[in-house]
A and B are shown apart, each in its own frame.
Chain A
Amino acid sequence: MSLFPKAGGLRRTIRDTIRVFNRNKTSWAGLVLLLFMVSLAVLAPWISPYDPIDQNILERLSPASAEHLLGTDHFGRDILSRILWGARISLSVGTISVLMGMAVGTVLGILAGYKGKYWDYMIMGVMDVFMAIPTLLMGLMVVAVLGPNLVNLTIAIALTVAPRFARIARAPTISIKNRDFVEAGRAMGFSDLRIMAGHIFPNILGELIVMGSLWIATAVRIEASLSFIGLGVKPPTPTWGGMIREGFQNILSDPWISIYPGIFILITVLAFNMLGDGLRDAIDPKLRNS
């Protein structure tokens, strides 16, 4: 195994990450904010004061009070409870879609880079086509085709994310595949799969994590945007973007219905961006050494 000096890369990356994390207050702040959001989402069933889909027509559009900390919406549903449950949708759609896109994209990217030739042309050609359509428009079209629900929304975002990861994975694969340790592995009769999974993947993992957290930020924003346009999940499921859209109807009299969920979107996206930024500083060797 000593033939593979990069095999311990993962552990070292983690150690470096923690070290730079310590130097970088922004990334800590991101992590803390994120953990806060995640715990709100996880604990939603226990800490929500009300059933998020329970309507109370007589109490609708009531301002913030002791009973309803953030007031109620146009159906008399508790806004705080809807925000807490909405956190689950935002975070899970954001994370799962990026993980899906990352998995598919990375495999395709490594494959394209490692196999080269027509594999490369075919895969990257398809990826280029998908990349040519802006994320929001792609999401818009896909959801419009498949119909707005949680699964389709996730797939739509994953589809737009996958090509970015294919690109990220391909370039380092090309540069690594001709290095000595990979050549040696091949000479020892290791299968392509083993080389790709065991030795190329760990080397690009750091960058994948950075891009992953930055793309989750984007995914959360896209989910909110699509929900705002009305291509989100089914009613009465609460989503932040959908809440803003519904609140927009009463923006003149009750602007807070739209403003509160927006603040939560902002914090969540910000948290992922801060985290990604901090991690990038940790992993990018050029920045680390200066």
Chain B
Amino acid sequence: MSKRIGLVSVFLAAIAVSSLLFVSPSFAEVVLKIGTLSNDANQLDPHVSTKSQDKILFPWVFNGLVRFAPGSADLSKIEADLAESWKSSADGLTWTFRLRKGVQFHSGYGELTADDVVFSLNRASKKETSTAYKGYADFASVSAPDKYTVKIVLTKPIPSLLGMVTNYHGGYIVSKKAVEKLGDNFKTNPIGTGPFAFSEYQSKRQVTLVANKDYFRGAPKIDKIIYRYLPDEASRELAFKNGELDLIYGTREQRWVERIRKDKGVKVDIIGLGELRTLHMNITKGPLKDIRVRQAISHAVNRDEMVAFVGQDVAQRSISVVPLGYLGNTSDVPLYKHDLAKAKALLKEAGYPDGVTLKVIITKVASLRVPMEILQAQLRKAGIILDLEVVEHSAFHKLIRQDASPLVLYGAARFPVADSYLTQFYLSDSTVGTPTAITNFSHCDAADAEITAARSEADQTKQLALWKTAQQKVLTQTCSVPIFEQLIVWARTTKLDYGFEMKNSLSNGPILNEMTTLK
């Protein structure tokens, strides 16, 4: 026995000595190490996944026909990407795009042609292959008159059509050949035309991207991106401080931002578009059926305290059920003010003089759980007790779609047009539990007519007016309490320079492209 222990120690000593000899050789390669949220990729298929950790990566790998200027999410400043030019017919029903020539897909999947664009847009509009399909419902056909021309015919005019073919969700152009060849494996082996090409996916660990030397805007200056999944915020921060990571998804709180800003060589980017945190109230069940109880909750919520908690730089008070910066957002709505006395009076009037207890389900994920705990403390002051049940994130998403929670705190950023938000959260078609369900947790049905009419309204002024009425009606029915908008925080070493000002992004993360450098 003792002989064996001796052997073991000799072996250990050998390992220790050999480890000193194998010091990692240094490469001249420029490697960008990123720490992102979540513990794993979900699906690296841009038409399917709507998860932050996946979305962040898509604009690095894929292009759209047109794009938002890097670092912006402004619909009025859309620029050419895979398409060089475009025009629409006088009736707004036919759009023609001229493609850039010589654009190559990654990994030898050949030149991008109109066929790939037709395939991609058709793929994006089918519910079997895309989660964005509802947005493309008014597409009559997409065709390729020649190798570099794409024609889109609509059933009715869509004023914001360019938005549908940007580098966002269904607008990403994938390689037809790659999707057909890889089949199910495409979701872990994405092939696009972007500045960075997919190289390797290690589940629960990381995705490796390499520079696309043939990128049509020029070869990127970063050779390799290691995109690490690190669900724990503290671990990401520690690793970043230790220099193990160059760029991290930060904690979206003022205190965190201020603390990490103090460190030398660190730059913090606070990126829009923010996610609107809204408390949805199920108007069909239990005490919340009574509008007075819903009004009481609306009055008990203290937006200022919430913003103070999250912080001025990272949070904004919301002014309506549609987020700030979205086309159609308005402050001309009946928003409830913080007023505890009124809240208590309303509860009493509704027949709950001793207060009311609601069993509420909330995710483990801090970005929703922490504000929910603050709401819990705020509502307690008005006599509304929230019995919080904390569940896994996926369980949360399942349960709230089964009406299991009368109050649903939800945070979301959508395409920055009022329609996307109103349709998904307040149209009765989207009510959870129905076959066409999306995320209407409140069973709101007050503004169906306006939301539907606005969608195909060609006159922008009339469209805006319809959206305004819709927002007013939703708040009058008291379907939800919009609380605050939380921006997204990324911290990077000052050695990393995006090459442009990083203000807004639809991907929840920074844009990395051929302009980005790492010293």
A interface residues (Cβ-Cβ under 8 A, vs B) = 53-55, 57-58, 60-61, 74-75, 144, 147-149, 230, 234-236, 248-253
Q: B390 touching A252 by the CB < 8 A rule?
A: no
B137 at the interface (CB under 8 A from A): no
| A57→B309 contact, CB < 8 A | yes
Q: How far is the CB of A180 from chain B (nearest CB, A)?
A: 43
What are 16 residue pairs bridging A and B, where the CB atoms are less than 8 Å apart in the complex? A54-B377, A55-B377, A57-B309, A57-B374, A61-B255, A75-B374, A147-B389, A148-B390, A234-B390, A235-B373, A235-B376, A236-B377, A248-B234, A249-B251, A252-B238, A253-B255
The residue that A252 contacts in the complex, of B241, B364, B377, with Cβ under 8 A, is: B241
A73 to B: closest C-beta gap in Å: 11
- Chain A binding surface, main DSSP class: loop
Given contacts A230-B364, A251-B234, A252-B238, contact A53 B377 (CB under 8 A): yes
Contact A252 B374 (CB under 8 A): no
**With a CB–CB cut-off of 8 A, which chain B residues contact A248?**
232, 234
Contact with A along B428-462 (1 / 0, CB 8 A): 00000000000000000000000000000000000
Give the CA-CA distance A253 to B390 in the complex, in Å: 27
Contacts of B366 in A (CB 8 A): 249
A249-B377 contact, Cβ under 8 Å, with A149-B389, A235-B390:
no
- Specify which chain B residues have a CB less than 8 angstroms from the CB of A55 in the assembled complex: 373-374, 377
Residues on A with C-beta less than 8 A from B342 are none
Residues of chain B within 8 A of A58, CB atoms compared: 308
Tell me which residues across on chain A come within 8 A of B391, comparing CB atoms: 147-148
Interface string of B132-165 (1 = CB under 8 A from A): 0000000000000000000000000000000000
Contacts of B374 in A (CB 8 A): 55, 57, 75
Set of chain A residues within 8 Å of B241, measured between Cβ atoms: 252
Cross-chain contact of A144 among B233, B373, B389, B392 (Cβ < 8 A) = B392
Query: Is B305 positioned at the interface, with any CB of A under 8 Å from its CB?
Result: yes
Set of chain B residues within 8 Å of A236, measured between Cβ atoms: 373, 376-377, 388
Binary contact readout B362-392 vs A (1 if CB under 8 angstroms, 0 otherwise): 0010100110011011000000000111111
Complex: A252 Cα to B366 Cα, angstroms = 18
User: Does B259 have its Cβ within 8 Å of any Cβ on chain A?
Assistant: yes
Q: Across the interface, do A57 and B305 meet the contact criterion of CB distance under 8 Å? A: yes
Query: B115 at the A/B interface (Cβ < 8 Å)?
Result: no
Closest chain-B Cβ to A234's Cβ sits at a distance in Å of 5
Residues of B within 8 A of A253 (CB): 255, 259
In the complex, A145 Cα to B30 Cα: how many Å? 46
A147 to B259, CA, bound (A): 35
Q: With A and B bound together, what is the CA distance between A164 and B369 in angstroms?
A: 37
Contacts A75-B374, A230-B364, A248-B232 supplied; 12 other A-B pairs, CB < 8 Å: A57-B374, A148-B389, A148-B390, A148-B391, A149-B389, A230-B390, A234-B389, A234-B390, A249-B251, A252-B234, A252-B241, A252-B259
Q: Which residue of B lies closest to A230 (CB)?
A: B364
Counting CB contacts under 8 A, is B116 at the interface? no
Interface residues of B in 286-324 (CB under 8 A from A): 305, 308-309
Residues of B within 8 A of A57 (CB): 305, 308-309, 374
The closest CB in chain B to the CB of A57 belongs to: B309
A235 and B234 contact, Cβ closer than 8 Å, known pairs A53-B377, A54-B377, A230-B364: no
B246 part of interface (Cβ distance < 8 Å):
no
**Within B232-254, which residues are at the interface with A (CB < 8 Å)?**
232-234, 237-238, 241, 251
In the bound assembly, the distance between CA atoms of A230 and B39 in angstroms comes to: 15
Which residues of B does A touch, CB under 8 Å? 232-234, 237-238, 241, 251, 255, 259, 305, 308-309, 364, 366, 369-370, 373-374, 376-377, 387-392
- Given known pairs A249-B233, A252-B237, A252-B259, the reply for A234 and B388 (CB within 8 Å) is yes
User: How far is it, in angstroms, between the C-alpha of A149 and the C-alpha of B387 when the chains are bound?
Assistant: 11
Q: How far is the CA of A82 from the CA of B392 in the complex (A)?
A: 24
Q: How far is the CB of B301 from chain A (nearest CB, A)?
A: 14
The CA-CA distance from A106 to B251 in the complex, in Å, is 49
Q: Report how far A55 CA is from B374 CA in the complex, Å.
A: 8
* In the bound complex, CA of A55 to CA of B377 (Å): 7
Contact partners of B259 in chain A: CB under 8 A? 252-253
Which residues of B are found within 8 Å of A252, using beta-carbon distances? 234, 237-238, 241, 259
Residue in A closest to B302 when the chains form the complex, CB atoms: A57
Please give, as numbers and ranges, the residues of chain A lying within 8 Å of B373 by CB-CB distance: 55, 75, 235-236
**Chain A residues positioned under 8 Å from B364 (CB to CB):** 230
Q: How far is the CA of A235 from the CA of B409 in the complex (A)?
A: 15
**Which residues of chain A are near B237, meaning CB under 8 Å?**
252
A250→B232 CA distance, assembly (Å): 12
- For A234, what are the chain B residues with a Cβ–Cβ distance below 8 Å? 387-390
Q: Which chain A residue lies CB-closest to B260? A: A252
Q: How far does the alpha carbon of A102 sit from the alpha carbon of B391 in the complex, in Å? A: 29
Query: How far apart sit A74 and B238, CA to CA, in the bound complex (Å)?
Result: 18
The docked-state distance in angstroms from the alpha carbon of A149 to that of B234 is 25
CB distance from A284 to the nearest CB of B (A): 27
Cα–Cα, bound, A148→B369 (Å): 14
CB distance from A231 to the nearest CB of B (A): 9
A236 to B255, CA, bound (A): 22
Assembled-state Cα–Cα distance A249/B259 (Å): 13
Q: Which residue of A lies closest to B237 (CB)?
A: A252
User: Which residues of chain A come closer than 8 Å to B309, judged between CB atoms?
Assistant: 57, 60
Give complex CA distance A251, B256 in Å: 11
Q: How far is the CB of A79 from chain B (nearest CB, A)?
A: 16
Q: Which residues of B contact A235 (CB under 8 A)?
A: 369, 373, 376, 388, 390
* A243–chain B nearest beta-carbon distance, Å: 13
Find B377's partner among A74, A75, A147 (CB 8 Å cutoff).
A75
Q: How far is the CB of A258 from chain B (nearest CB, A)?
A: 10
List A contacts of B234 (CB < 8 A).
248-252
Which residues of the partner chain A approach B233 to less than 8 Å between Cβ atoms?
Answer: 249
**CA A149 to CA B374, docked complex, whole Å:** 20
Chain A residues with Cβ below 8 Å from B255 are 61, 250, 253
Hey, which chain A residues are within 8 Å of B370, CB to CB? 74
Q: CA–CA, A236 to B377, complex, Å?
A: 9
Closest 10 CB pairs of A and B: A55-B377, A57-B309, A248-B234, A230-B364, A251-B234, A235-B373, A234-B388, A235-B388, A253-B259, A57-B305
Q: Which residues of A contact B238 (CB under 8 A)?
A: 251-252
Most buried by B among A61, A144, A147: A147
Residues of A close to B388: CB separation below 8 A: 234-236
Task: Closest A residue to B362 by CB, please name it.
Answer: A235
A237 to B, closest residue via Cβ: B388
Nearest Cβ on chain B to A103's Cβ, whole angstroms: 28
Q: Which of B309, B366, B374, B390 has the most CB of A within 10 A?
A: B390
Residue of B nearest to A60 (CB): B309
Contacts of B376 in A (CB 8 A): 235-236
User: What residues on B are CB-neighbors of A250 within 8 Å?
Assistant: 234, 255
What is the CA–CA distance of A55 and B309 in the complex, to the nearest angstrom?
11
Docked CA distance A53–B381 (Å): 12
